Chain A
Amino acid sequence: MALIKCPGYPEDTLRSLAERLPCRETQLATLLALMGQPDQYSYPSVFIYGHRATGKSHVVLSIMKDLELPHASVDCVECVSSGLLFHQVLSAFFGLDAAALLPRCPSLSDFVRLYKQMSSNSPATQTRYIILDRAERMRDMDFSLLPALLRLQELVNDNVTVILLSEIVWEKFRPNTGCFEPLLFHFPDYSKAELVQILSWDHHPSYTPELYASYINILLGVFFSVCRDLRELRHLAVLNFSKFCEPLEKGEAKESDIHKLWKNIEPHLQRAMQTVYLREVSSVQWEQQQMDEKEATTLRVLSAHAHIELPYYSKFLLIAAYLASFNPARTDRRFFLKSHGKIRKTNFLKKHEKTSNHLLGPKPFPLDRLMAIFYSVVDSRVAPTASIFSQISSLVTLQLLSQVGHDDQLDSPKYKCSVSLDFILAISRTVGFDVVKYLYDFL
């Protein structure tokens, strides 16, 4: 590890900082070089971008905390109005009393005025840093806020640097009227080797580090192709480690029997990818299940709960809506009329109707067509009572149907069916209706 040197900061703090931030030495060195000595003016604004969990805010906040620099760390998601942002910045730099001087709905000029007033009382001896996490939210706030913060140093005439952290590239930030261009700084993704190094950091105290490292290697062998998110991987590593150690505890294997351990854990990890990783099973359930030694598939996963008990006619209404949404209107005669002539499938459909409707998604249909199909699929005579029509609107509120074009509520409304094929198959099975026979795509 190259020794990071930066005049003006205590050397042992820098060393411990570099040890605490593995695989981020170059970024750390660049940032420290940018910051310069504490009393020097730094660049007005720095834009740091990189994927999720690449240590952007961790590196920046660690530097701030360890070197004890004056800083205000603001998460832009929390700032529903710019006033909250101003409040946090002022209270971090000058104390709560200063922030209390802000008017109720502070504007940018209020903030700048108050900042200037406060900084003239207590001028900056060190560079002050404003760290804006998830800065992409700044674009949705007042349009002048981002350009103003980018040149805040100039506005308040104080040694202040704004650091923006985001997962989005700068090109999507730039306002149309132009602005002061910040310094762009990229945090690259961790490689596999780096992930192993970082994940092996927190090994279990009762086992050797080598065992944990081999566990991490196995884990990454399964998960690296789908997930490079450090936080997610760490979470999975913690969840499954007890299962990995099971043979050791039982005495069935020794620490050196890596192959045996791999054979034990590999199917378990594959199962975890389909359940815990997709949050079908919560981590608490997963741990519980490991303790009870139950088979993993016995648990009903979240997506299997997608079955709703519906009234009898609602089921038929939903089936009719599904048929109306996924069949071309021209084929209705053929499917739903009792005595239709012989019509061949080919050569009578338009070109766009030939492609699978299930790939294109549901199409809107008018209420009349829904009712026509409904009467044709229901065997008994059904009176068009208020309850039938209210069932349609309650299907809309349940979001099984969705209304298209909200201009006309009463006169010929249009709907779309928004349920999946699996769902409709399950519904039709309960009423003993074969949907597939009526679907043009499966003919």
Chain B
Amino acid sequence: MVKRCFNPDINSNNALIDPHRSMSISVEGKTEDATVSLGQYILIEGDDDDNPFVAQLRKLYTDGRNMPCFSKKTAVVQWFVRMCEVPQNKRKLLGRDPHPQEIFFYQDRSCDNEVDGETILGAVQTAPATPRTPRHATPSIPSRSAPARKPGNVLEEARARLHVSSVPESLPCREQEFQDIYNFVESKVIDGTGGCMYISGVPGTGKTATVHEVVRSLQQSAEQDEIPHFHFIEINGMKMTDPHQAYVQILQKLTNQKATPDHAAALLEKRFSAPAPKKETTVLLVDELDLLWTRKQNVMYNLFDWPTRRNARLVVLTIANTMDLPERIMINRVASRLGLTRMSFQPYTFKQLQQIITSRLNRVKAFEEDALQLVSRKVAALSGDARRCLDICRRATEICEHSGSQKNGSGLVGMSHVMEALDEMFSSSYIAAIRCASVQEQLFLRAVIAEFRRLGLEEATFQQVFVQHQALCRVEGLQPVSVSEGLAVCQRLGSCRLLLLEGSRLDLFLRIRLNVSQDDVLYALKAD
């Protein structure tokens, strides 16, 4: 496990001696001075007088380090670019017709963002462009007005830490996999070559989290110039409406261009055939690979073919659930390009799950040791899904909180709470549904089983079952139901999937099958 180092954002600027909020300047042609204040858009002297530069005032201070008597006002600004300053060929990339007065954010390191206060010409009103439908608007949730509530007690804190979305401090039990992926990507980045890697494993074994962790630490070491810089792109098969959208997304993340899938494929082909610009490696993460399957498999083929190009410098990491996916769905020329760099994530054992929860909780004492062990043993026995494990723990804290209000226990999540949560999560709802069904519905299920026994088959028509149902009604001393009522009962059971039915048009001839095992039905019916 590579330790990550946290760099607190302390840009100690000693020069900032005398910060101001506003400054008065003399404007040419006017007698009184104008005032510019922080946040305002200002005009700054440029190469020619007719077209001054536009910027936004960020900081204003008096630079008096050397000679206090000749103190000079310095402004830190954020530069903006007007449309007329944008080169003709770059305008097309915008993809729309901008307002002539519109200004654009300018982010180039080549311009110094500290300017002399004397060069400021005056304030400028940036008129908002005519309202138009935002093209690149992304829907976002409104930012909260009040800060998020701090967890009130231990259980709430534990719940927040156990939430699947909360990013853990570390990823325990995946050190080996982390190291392998890290070494693979790092070697490719350092050598400036490309390659593919296939990562498989059942859901909830930490595949995506580990790869993200790898990329994060690689990016950190790139920032510290330990390894060359690289470009990270992530696409997810599940988030695409069509496999060919993968090209579009990759192109957009690579060059900010928008194109149709075909055009994007051609552009990417050109990009990866030529030497990579700036000799920068691209790391591409493809999540949910199996959804990129097409009949001709051209998307997969391209994804695995590009890294083999001489100067493409592309590293492709693919993630899917099944181990034999390349053998099962890929044609040979695709599977061979994917290569044999495979990695499979084993399901977590109970010890690992326990460690994960402990590391998440990190000194927050909310669980009894035995309770944790029970959860991890149960989950490990069934699936080894860490997400499921976290969900159960969270549910157990909720149950504990509810029961705690009635009788004051130790305040910790105990065995009984965990048992209850496990029962909720794992017990089949079918048996509960049969127990809660009406008398006629239970009778109908009995009739289904009786008819199956008589026929020796696992399938019967409604007509046959209905005869049994009527006989059972008489045995039970109930009024025999009509065909309509019998069908209504049958179709209600079918709509809650206890039975599997054909279309209702067949009425008497619709075939019935049980969706639960006969033993389950008998167990549920016998219990009362």
Q: Which chain A residues have a beta carbon within 8 Å of chain B's beta carbons?
A: 139, 169-178
Number of interface residues of B (CB under 8 A): 14
Task: State how many angstroms separate the Cβ of B469 from the closest Cβ of chain A.
Answer: 15
Task: State how many angstroms separate the Cβ of B246 from the closest Cβ of chain A.
Answer: 28
Sample of 14 A–B contacts (CB below 8 Å): A171-B484, A171-B488, A171-B504, A171-B507, A172-B505, A172-B507, A174-B488, A174-B491, A174-B504, A175-B504, A176-B495, A176-B503, A177-B495, A178-B495
Inter-subunit contact B504/A178 (CB<8 Å): no
Query: Which of A139, A169, A176, A178 counts the most chain B CB atoms within 10 A?
Result: A176
- In angstroms, Cα B500 to Cα A177, docked, is 11
With a cutoff of 8 Å between Cβ atoms, the chain A residues found around residue B483 in the complex are 171
With a cutoff of 8 Å between Cβ atoms, the chain B residues found around residue A139 in the complex are 505
What 1/0 flags go to B419-461 for Cβ under 8 Å of A?
0000000000000000000000000000000000000000000
The answer to the question of B164 belonging to the interface, with a C-beta cut-off of 8 Å to chain A, is no
The answer to the question of B501 belonging to the interface, with a C-beta cut-off of 8 Å to chain A, is yes
With a cutoff of 8 Å between Cβ atoms, the chain B residues found around residue A176 in the complex are 491, 494-495, 501, 503-504
The 8 A-B residue pairs whose C-beta atoms are closest, nearest first, are A178-B495, A171-B487, A174-B504, A174-B491, A172-B505, A171-B507, A177-B495, A171-B484
- In angstroms, Cα B484 to Cα A178, docked, is 15
- In angstroms, Cα B488 to Cα A171, docked, is 7
- In angstroms, Cα B492 to Cα A177, docked, is 9
Interface residues in B445-500 by Cβ distance below 8 A to A read 483-484, 487-488, 491-492, 494-496
Inter-subunit contact A178/B507 (CB<8 Å): no
Nearest B-chain residue to A170, judged by Cβ: B484
- In angstroms, Cα B507 to Cα A178, docked, is 15
- In angstroms, Cα B503 to Cα A174, docked, is 9
- In angstroms, Cα B462 to Cα A172, docked, is 13
- In angstroms, Cα B503 to Cα A236, docked, is 40
Nearest A-chain residue to B508, judged by Cβ: A171
- In angstroms, Cα B505 to Cα A174, docked, is 8
- In angstroms, Cα B503 to Cα A173, docked, is 9
Task: State how many angstroms separate the Cβ of B493 from the closest Cβ of chain A.
Answer: 10
With a cutoff of 8 Å between Cβ atoms, the chain A residues found around residue B484 in the complex are 169-171
- In angstroms, Cα B495 to Cα A171, docked, is 14
Interface residues in B492-524 by Cβ distance below 8 A to A read 492, 494-496, 501, 503-505, 507
With a cutoff of 8 Å between Cβ atoms, the chain A residues found around residue B505 in the complex are 139, 172
Nearest B-chain residue to A177, judged by Cβ: B495
Nearest B-chain residue to A184, judged by Cβ: B484
With a cutoff of 8 Å between Cβ atoms, the chain A residues found around residue B495 in the complex are 176-178
With a cutoff of 8 Å between Cβ atoms, the chain A residues found around residue B494 in the complex are 176
- In angstroms, Cα B501 to Cα A159, docked, is 35
Task: State how many angstroms separate the Cβ of B486 from the closest Cβ of chain A.
Answer: 9
Task: State how many angstroms separate the Cβ of A177 from the closest Cβ of chain B.
Answer: 6
Inter-subunit contact A172/B504 (CB<8 Å): yes
- In angstroms, Cα B496 to Cα A178, docked, is 8
- In angstroms, Cα B278 to Cα A218, docked, is 103
With a cutoff of 8 Å between Cβ atoms, the chain A residues found around residue B501 in the complex are 176
For the complex with contacts A176-B494, A176-B495, 18 further pairs of A-B residues with Cβ separation under 8 Å are: A139-B505, A169-B484, A170-B484, A171-B483, A171-B484, A171-B487, A171-B491, A171-B504, A172-B507, A174-B488, A174-B504, A175-B504, A176-B491, A176-B503, A177-B495, A178-B491, A178-B492, A178-B495
- In angstroms, Cα B507 to Cα A172, docked, is 6
Task: State how many angstroms separate the Cβ of A146 from the closest Cβ of chain B.
Answer: 11
- In angstroms, Cα B491 to Cα A175, docked, is 9
Inter-subunit contact A173/B491 (CB<8 Å): no
With a cutoff of 8 Å between Cβ atoms, the chain A residues found around residue B487 in the complex are 171, 174
With a cutoff of 8 Å between Cβ atoms, the chain B residues found around residue A171 in the complex are 483-484, 487-488, 491, 504, 507
Task: State how many angstroms separate the Cβ of B514 from the closest Cβ of chain A.
Answer: 16
- In angstroms, Cα B496 to Cα A169, docked, is 22
- In angstroms, Cα B484 to Cα A169, docked, is 9
- In angstroms, Cα B488 to Cα A172, docked, is 10
Task: State how many angstroms separate the Cβ of B441 from the closest Cβ of chain A.
Answer: 13
With a cutoff of 8 Å between Cβ atoms, the chain B residues found around residue A175 in the complex are 504
Nearest B-chain residue to A173, judged by Cβ: B504
Nearest A-chain residue to B483, judged by Cβ: A171
Interface residues in B299-325 by Cβ distance below 8 A to A read none
Task: State how many angstroms separate the Cβ of B76 from the closest Cβ of chain A.
Answer: 50
With a cutoff of 8 Å between Cβ atoms, the chain B residues found around residue A174 in the complex are 487-488, 491, 504
With a cutoff of 8 Å between Cβ atoms, the chain B residues found around residue A169 in the complex are 484
Interface residues in B214-235 by Cβ distance below 8 A to A read none
- In angstroms, Cα B462 to Cα A174, docked, is 15
Task: State how many angstroms separate the Cβ of B317 from the closest Cβ of chain A.
Answer: 39
With a cutoff of 8 Å between Cβ atoms, the chain A residues found around residue B507 in the complex are 171-172
- In angstroms, Cα B488 to Cα A98, docked, is 39
- In angstroms, Cα B487 to Cα A173, docked, is 11
Task: State how many angstroms separate the Cβ of A410 from the closest Cβ of chain B.
Answer: 31
Nearest B-chain residue to A172, judged by Cβ: B505
Task: State how many angstroms separate the Cβ of B489 from the closest Cβ of chain A.
Answer: 11
- In angstroms, Cα B484 to Cα A53, docked, is 23
Task: State how many angstroms separate the Cβ of B50 from the closest Cβ of chain A.
Answer: 50
Nearest A-chain residue to B485, judged by Cβ: A171
- In angstroms, Cα B488 to Cα A173, docked, is 11
- In angstroms, Cα B485 to Cα A170, docked, is 11
Nearest B-chain residue to A136, judged by Cβ: B505
Task: State how many angstroms separate the Cβ of A176 from the closest Cβ of chain B.
Answer: 6
Query: Which of B483, B484, B491, B501 counts the most chain A CB atoms within 10 A?
Result: B491
Nearest A-chain residue to B502, judged by Cβ: A176
- In angstroms, Cα B446 to Cα A359, docked, is 41
Nearest A-chain residue to B494, judged by Cβ: A176
With a cutoff of 8 Å between Cβ atoms, the chain B residues found around residue A172 in the complex are 504-505, 507
- In angstroms, Cα B390 to Cα A256, docked, is 96
Nearest A-chain residue to B495, judged by Cβ: A178
Task: State how many angstroms separate the Cβ of A186 from the closest Cβ of chain B.
Answer: 11
Query: Which of B494, B496, B501, B505 counts the most chain A CB atoms within 10 A?
Result: B505
With a cutoff of 8 Å between Cβ atoms, the chain A residues found around residue B504 in the complex are 171-176
With a cutoff of 8 Å between Cβ atoms, the chain A residues found around residue B491 in the complex are 171, 174, 176, 178
Task: State how many angstroms separate the Cβ of A185 from the closest Cβ of chain B.
Answer: 14
Nearest B-chain residue to A175, judged by Cβ: B504
- In angstroms, Cα B494 to Cα A171, docked, is 13
Nearest B-chain residue to A169, judged by Cβ: B484
Nearest A-chain residue to B506, judged by Cβ: A172
With a cutoff of 8 Å between Cβ atoms, the chain B residues found around residue A177 in the complex are 495
Task: State how many angstroms separate the Cβ of B494 from the closest Cβ of chain A.
Answer: 6
With a cutoff of 8 Å between Cβ atoms, the chain A residues found around residue B492 in the complex are 178
- In angstroms, Cα B495 to Cα A175, docked, is 8
Task: State how many angstroms separate the Cβ of B380 from the closest Cβ of chain A.
Answer: 36
Task: State how many angstroms separate the Cβ of A167 from the closest Cβ of chain B.
Answer: 14
- In angstroms, Cα B494 to Cα A295, docked, is 61
Nearest B-chain residue to A171, judged by Cβ: B487
Nearest A-chain residue to B501, judged by Cβ: A176
- In angstroms, Cα B510 to Cα A174, docked, is 13
- In angstroms, Cα B491 to Cα A171, docked, is 9
- In angstroms, Cα B491 to Cα A240, docked, is 49
Nearest B-chain residue to A139, judged by Cβ: B505
- In angstroms, Cα B504 to Cα A177, docked, is 10
- In angstroms, Cα B491 to Cα A172, docked, is 11
Task: State how many angstroms separate the Cβ of B358 from the closest Cβ of chain A.
Answer: 44
With a cutoff of 8 Å between Cβ atoms, the chain A residues found around residue B496 in the complex are 178
With a cutoff of 8 Å between Cβ atoms, the chain B residues found around residue A173 in the complex are 504
- In angstroms, Cα B507 to Cα A158, docked, is 34
- In angstroms, Cα B487 to Cα A90, docked, is 35
- In angstroms, Cα B504 to Cα A139, docked, is 10
With a cutoff of 8 Å between Cβ atoms, the chain A residues found around residue B503 in the complex are 176
With a cutoff of 8 Å between Cβ atoms, the chain A residues found around residue B488 in the complex are 171, 174
- In angstroms, Cα B503 to Cα A169, docked, is 15
Query: Which of A139, A171, A175, A178 counts the most chain B CB atoms within 10 A?
Result: A171
- In angstroms, Cα B484 to Cα A145, docked, is 23
- In angstroms, Cα B494 to Cα A178, docked, is 8
